Structures are given as structure tokens and as C-alpha cells.
Amino acid sequence: MSKNKFYLTAAIPYVNAKPHLGHALEFVQGDVLARWHRLRGIKTFYVSGADENSLKVVRAAEEGGVSVQEFADKNTKEFVDFLKLYHVSLDKFQRSSSPEHKDVAQDFWRACEKSGAIYKKKYKGLYCVSCEVFYQKEELDEKGQCLYHPGKMIEEVEEENYFFKLSEYQDKLIDLIESDAYKIRPLSRKNEARAFIKHGLDDFSISRSVERAKGWGVSVPNDPGHIMYVWFDALNVYRSAAPHYWPADLHIIGKDILRFHAVYWPAMLLAAGESLPKELFVHGFITSNGKKMSKSLGNVVDPVALVEKYGVDAVRYYLLREIPSDDDGDFSEESFIKRYNGDLANGLGNFASRVLTLAEAEEDLAVLSEGALDPDILRSVNVCIENLDKKIEERRFHEAIAEALQLTSVGDGYLNNKTPWKMESGEEKSLVLSNCLFVLDKLTHAIAPFLPETRAKLDDALKAVDGVWVVKKLKSSLFPRL
């Protein structure tokens, strides 16, 4: 792919339930990267979608007393609305129930079959419907339950299925991962994937009987008695959504689906003769007050209610700043309010309001050339921006957004040192305020990938026209103190 193109994907969520806070984290991380690349003039394509062809979707529809299609349509719309609420700038939302996707998935099957990577056999295994995966006994907890879904029943399934010859790709996968031809970040997840492969790979089932799948999903070519296994089907959403952009430059996923993206997916692509994605970034989970979110504990955080209460940029900021980009993080109302008041209300919002109020009272504040700017201000601003870009390239979003907000401290320190509110109108005051406006303008651009709504408000309040700053006071506080 051309260096002037960037294709990234967020994982394709199951639509058996409503979006949760972990979805928001992943979608927003991807959105930051998409916006950051677009701001650099790079042709960017950001994809996610709906994984509608899983057994868990079928069962949820049955429990709700509606058809699978009706259930999928309703829940898929909730995800589309959720993405809009969080200002996620997707270029394509691909449904796995769409005809175009089914065609791509079936062509992919045929390519794997032609290469000799698919065969049929009878199988008996332990199946977690919530994960949509077969497990070995040693992969379950002491109660024989899934580590990711304790309390959920593991089903023993016996049937004749199609299998993928994963065992034949062990050495190739090790080479790909160790050489970083397929780069996995962070290092801990790379090591986890490598250890999983070196432990020995078993061939895995890639179909379900049409009876067990309840006839829902993508049919296996030339065998109407079988439906494709959901992961064999769903991973191809990344290709069916944007075939002209493939291969992906980056997949963003949660740690619970590492094996599918780090092991199964590249092996399947190799078998089909397709190009491989370049990078896999893996984030962690979000707990609530130190505990896994659970309806029984009553600690599930509603991501929609959170935005309705505090505003979208406040929630985006918290997720990006407080949750480590590549590890587990915790949400609590207390930490949210502390971060909001400290960084946004007293920090960014207060600095912007002070500068714009002071500047609006003056006339003809010049847009200063680099040579006319305070050298310490220029140096500090450039360091923050360089660090921000570096951290985004490293996928360290929590550190990147901290660098953006560091510009607030740079501006506040300069403003408090110069005290322009004590000065009479004149050249010295104008110079100080022009330096402050320079910092605010750079801050506005720095937060653009992270806080798009706030960026738009500041863009409206501050514009450079014919070498002069055109300033308007904010209509309301960016972040009213809680």
C-alpha cells in the first residue's frame, strides 16, 4: 500500500447485546488514529461493522421472540447510533449479513479449499457460545468454565465439520511474528501469541451444521448442509468492507480475541494467497471500581448515559487519558470527576476562556512569525507536538493526549508570568497576547484527533485572517466545573 494511504479497522462486534464501554474505548482509539492521519493529508479509511452471523445472535433473537434478521437489524442500528454519539469517523460500517460480504467470504473459502487447507472430519469438543470458540479442557478454569465468561455453560458438541489445517502454518506464523512482518503491539501480546503458537497448533473447525446454526450465516460453497464458522466469516469483513484498500495497515482489537487475529487470520490469509495486515494493536479491558463489570454486581457503566451526562469529549478524554492504551484500566465516577475538573475544566477550558476574553478586548493582534515569537514558547510548543506525534505512532494514546494538554500548562505558565491583564493596551500587551493565541491555536490543532467537538468550538472562536487574529469569546464554558 502507498505511504499516502492508511487503512485501519476496529474489531467487528457481536450484535447480540448493546454496546459497552470497551467498545467505546476501541472505537475512539481507532478514531484518533484515523483523524491524525487525515490531518497529515494521508488518504485514510477506517472500518468497523457488525458481526451478525454468530450463534449467540441466533439465541438472543430466540430469547427475544423475534426473527434473527429483525434482531440483527435493531441491534446493528444501536451500534451505528453509538458510533455517531461518540463522534467516531468511520468510513465504512460493514454488516456481515450483507450480500457483498457473503460473496467475499465464499470466495475466500474457495481459495483456501483450492490450496488444500480445508478438509472434513467428525469432531467432538467443548464450545463456548459467548466466545464462539472450541476450547481444550486445560484452557478452562477449575470449574470447567470459560475464563472470559465464568458462569456461562460450556457445551459439548459432536458433529462432522470442515477443518482448517492450522497446524501446517506454525513455522510460518512464528517467522511472521518474530520478524515483525506482522507487528503485534504491545510486546506482552506479541509474546502471548508467540507462546500460543509454540505450544503447538491444532487444526480448527470452520463450519457448523446448518441445524446447529439454525440456518443463519454464510453457507459453505457447494455444501448447503454447513454454515461457515463465525470467525472464518467475520474476519473477512476487513476485506469485504474495502477491497481496494487491503491489506490493512492496522487492526485494533481487545485482548480476548488475540488468537483469532494473531494466529487464525494470518494463517487463513496465507492459505488463500492474500496479502497480510501489517500491524495488530491490542488493548486491555475496563473494570469498574476495580471489579469486572457485571450485571449481578450492578457495576456496569452505561456508555450512552455517560455521554448524555458529561458530554462526548469529556468521556473520550477520560478513556484516552485514564485508561492505559495497551493494558487494563479502571473506571470510577470519582476518578472521572477528578480528571474532568483537573484537566478539562481547570486546565484546557480555563486557559482557552482566559486567553479569548483578554484577546477579544484588544484590536489587531498579529499572527506572529516564528522569529517574532517568544523563543521559549516556540521551543516548548514544538517539543509537545513532536512528543505527541511520536506517542501516537507508538499507539500510546494516554501519553499522546497528555502531551496535547501539556500545551495548556505551557500557555498558563506564560500567561501567569506575563500578567497581561495588568498591562495597558500597547505593543507589549499585544505581543504577549499574540504569543498566547499562538499557543491556543496549536492546542486546538493538537486536540483535534482526540476531542473533535472541542476543536470545532475553538476553531469557531479563533481564526487567522490576513495575518491578524479574529477572536470571539466562547458562547459557554467548554467544560463547566462539576
Residue 212 lies in a domain: yes
Q: What is the pLDDT of residues 248-302, one digit of tens each?
A: 999 999 999 999 999 999 999 999 999 999 999 999 999 998 888 866 567 889 9
- Selecting among 128, 190, 283, 442, the annotated active-site residue is 128
Is residue 149 annotated as a catalytic residue, yes or no? yes
Q: How far apart are CA 382 and CA 77, in angstroms?
A: 42
Is residue 445 annotated as a catalytic residue, yes or no? no
What CATH number did the domain enclosing 121 receive? 3.40.50.620
Q: Rg (Cα) of the chain, in Å, rounded? A: 26
Is residue 278 annotated as a catalytic residue, yes or no? no
- Write out 46-115 in H/E/C secondary structure: EEEEEECCCHHHHHHHHHHCCCHHHHHHHHHHHHHHHHHHCCCCCCEEEECCCHHHHHHHHHHHHHHHHC
Please tell me whether residues 33 and 114 are part of one structural domain. yes
- Selecting among 5, 20, 165, 255, the annotated active-site residue is 20
Tell me what pLDDT residue 181 has: 98
Residues of the chain with pLDDT under 70: 1-2, 129-133, 138, 149, 151, 153, 294-297
Residue 110 lies in a domain: yes
Residue 446 lies in a domain: yes
Q: Residue 305: CA atoms inside 13 Å, Cβ hemisphere, count?
A: 6
Residue 306 lies in a domain: no
Please tell me whether residues 260 and 401 are part of one structural domain. no
Q: Give the rounded distance of the alpha carbon of 482 from its chain centre.
A: 28
Is residue 295 annotated as a catalytic residue, yes or no? yes
Tell me what pLDDT residue 147 has: 73
Is residue 87 annotated as a catalytic residue, yes or no? no
- Selecting among 112, 131, 384, 436, the annotated active-site residue is 131
- When divided into structural domains, the chain yields a total of 2
Residue 77 lies in a domain: yes
Instruction: Compute, in degrees rounded to 10, the torsion defined by CA atoms 13, 17, 18, 22.
Output: -50
Tell me what pLDDT residue 127 has: 74
Tell me what pLDDT residue 364 has: 93
Residue 61 lies in a domain: yes
Is residue 261 annotated as a catalytic residue, yes or no? no
Q: What is the pTM assigned to this prediction?
A: 0.92
Please tell me whether residues 277 and 373 are part of one structural domain. no
Is residue 384 annotated as a catalytic residue, yes or no? no
Q: Which of 249, 265, 284 is the last residue of a domain?
A: 284
Please tell me whether residues 351 and 250 are part of one structural domain. no
Tell me what pLDDT residue 2 has: 52
Please tell me whether residues 259 and 390 are part of one structural domain. no
Please tell me whether residues 279 and 341 are part of one structural domain. no
Residue 133 lies in a domain: yes
Is residue 128 annotated as a catalytic residue, yes or no? yes
Q: Which of 284, 301, 322 is the last residue of a domain?
A: 284
Please tell me whether residues 360 and 265 are part of one structural domain. no
- Structural domain boundaries enclosing 413: 332-471
Give the residue from 160, 149, 154 showing the smallest Cα distance to 135.
154
Q: Which helix H or strand E contains 237, and what residues bound it?
A: helix 237-240
Tell me what pLDDT residue 146 has: 73
Tell me what pLDDT residue 1 has: 42
